[in-house]
Amino acid sequence: MTTPRATIKNRQNAKKSTGPITVLGKAKVRGNATTHGARAKHFINQDEQQAYQLFLEALQLQYPSQNPLVMMQLDRIANFKVQADRIQRSIDATFAASELKQSCNEILMDLLEMDKDQKKIAENIDAEDLNIKELINLDRIRVATELAAFDASSFKSQNDFIFHTPLFCQLLLNEANEYDQDIDYFIEQNADLLINLNGTSLAIMKSLIKLENKKARNHDMDSSDLSIAPTPEQSLNYKISQVKLKNLHFAAKLYGNEINRVGEIHYKVQAFNQLKKIERKPLALNYEQLDKLQRYQTTIQGQLSRMVGELLELVK
């Protein structure tokens, strides 16, 4: 039997352990029950509040009444329904977390918003078929820098290109010659493709194009679609002056974008490689938390069932 002195002592001790008394302290501990959100007594997001409101309105429509007890019971049922759904989501999330696997390449590429060509480059680098250094063509970078100083789209003649962008004109000629093609044919048929290729893929494409050119010349030396490479004695100015103006504008746009293209690829490929290195181990199933959630789920479902029974008694 507790003595009067012990009773007084217990009451004094209780006053010392009633929890936080300041506004800040109370606000802090208010979230203790929301470690996983299941035991929270308040709505933890707007979705829950909306779900509560919609379910309460459906109940009120099904059981219209001015009886305060019925109205209170409908509110309690809607609240407990939200809690029951929250617990089920917590249980589902616990299982889902335990099944987390390493993200596949495609997911990482989509997160980085890689286009088709960038994905191919990233895959080749990942397979060690391509080196990141092969992405950079210094000659094209210099030309892109030169083109950045002018609005080439405003050039009215071939002479404008020759005068303002000599590096661009020379590189265009060099790359066309590398494929044994005249400049117009190179721009119209291959420039768009070849500028976007790198490393091994570029070497293979170069060999195939040269082989096709050789076959075409052997088959028909008078072909109007494929011209023989210009002779060395022809001047750069003369060769560029023979190129269609629309082709020069198109090529200038391609080469002018080289810095942005390489920069974006370099960033995305580097980010892709870093993300792939992150080890993602499957999480162990937290059986202790799962057991608590399932026990709490049983309690809430039991209370919810009793409330529904009480409601049906009230509306008889």
pLDDT digits (tens, 9 = 90+) for 283-312: 556 677 778 888 888 888 888 899 888 888
Residue 105 lies in a domain: no
Same domain, 255 and 117: yes
Residue 199 lies in a domain: yes
Q: Mean pLDDT over residues 45-61, rounded?
A: 88
Same domain, 146 and 205: yes
CB 136 within 8 A of CB 262: yes
Residue 194: domain span: 111-277
pLDDT of residue 223: 45
In this predicted model, which residue has the larger pLDDT, 74 or 228? Answer: 74
Same domain, 49 and 152: no
Q: Mean pLDDT over residues 15-25, rounded?
A: 52
Is this model's pTM higher than 0.85 or not?
no
Domain count, the chain: 2
DSSP string, the chain: ---HHHHHHHHHHHHHTS---SHHHHHHHTTGGGSSSTT-SS-SSHHHHHHHHHHHHHHHHHS----HHHHHHHHHHHHHHHHHHHHHHHHHHHHHHHT--PPPHHHHHHHTT--HHHHHHHHHHHTTSS-GGGG--HHHHHHHHHHHTS-GGG--SHHHHHHH-HHHHHHHHHHHHHTT--HHHHIIIIIHHHHT--HHHHHHHHHHHHHHHHHHHHH-TT-SSSPPPPPTTS-HHHHHHTS-HHHHHHHHHHHHTHHHHHHHHHHHHHHHHHHHHS--PPPPP-HHHHHHHHHHHHHHHHHHHHHHHHHHHHT-
Q: What size, in residues, is the chain?
A: 316
Residue 21 lies in a domain: no
Q: Mean pLDDT over residues 204-230, rounded?
A: 54
Same domain, 273 and 288: no
What letters, b where the CB count within 10 A reaches 16 and e where it falls short, cover 246-285? ebbeebbebbbebbebbeebeebbeebeebeeeeeeeeee
Same domain, 62 and 133: no
**Is the per-residue pLDDT at 21 higher than 60?**
no
Q: Mean pLDDT over residues 13-26, rounded?
A: 52
